[in-house]
Amino acid sequence: MDSSLTVKIPEGVRIECGRRVVRVSGPRGQLVKSFKHANVELKSKADAIVVTTWFNNNAQLALLRTVASHIQNMITGVTKGYRYKLRCAAAHFNIVSTINEKERTVELRHFLGEKMVRVVKLQNGVTATRDPNSKDGIVLEGNDIAAVSQTAASIQQCTRVRNKDLRKFLDGAYVQERGPIPDEE
């Protein structure tokens, strides 16, 4: 008749849910996500959130796990945050990347020798810095995994090679490493 999943709430995290809108607050900030499109019931308990669906078929069971995963990602975002490391690979022409903090953009120049400047706007809540371990690396950090991953994907897509042999032209910006920010920092 019904199926449910429970998401545990760790210490130092507050979760409020009402009308299928979830607000997660933690040491790194606050995230808000609406699940009004999903036919699920959200109940907040003292140490957990219970996600329930009724009269299920396979699609609704998949939706149940998706909503629980989104809430878990929000909890990870406000406690640890997310980091994506990108690396510019160039076999023909070196790609010059510039981070403009004032305009919140990443600019990529000299891709395949072109004079055009590719500009990618950072999503809200995402910060970009240079990778101290590599000369051509970019580090994206933020609390919202969707915003950080979409910014990384936009940077990678703006350097996609078109109308050339992809086996030979491997130039571009690629995601090298991704995941939660490690605790040792």
> What residues of the chain score a pLDDT lower than 50?
none
pLDDT recorded at residue 103: 93
Domain extent, residue 52, equals 2-79
CB 71 within 8 A of CB 40: no
Give the domain CATH number at 16.
3.90.930.12
Same domain, residue pair 93 and 60 = no
Whether residues 36 and 69 fall in one domain: yes
> Considering 49, 79, 109, which residue would you say is the last residue of a domain?
79
Q: Judge if 69 and 93 occupy the same domain.
A: no
Identify whether residues 73 and 90 lie together within a single domain: no
Instruction: Single out the residue in 79, 95, 114 at which a domain terminates.
Output: 79
Confirm whether pTM is higher than 0.85: yes
pLDDT for position 185:
56
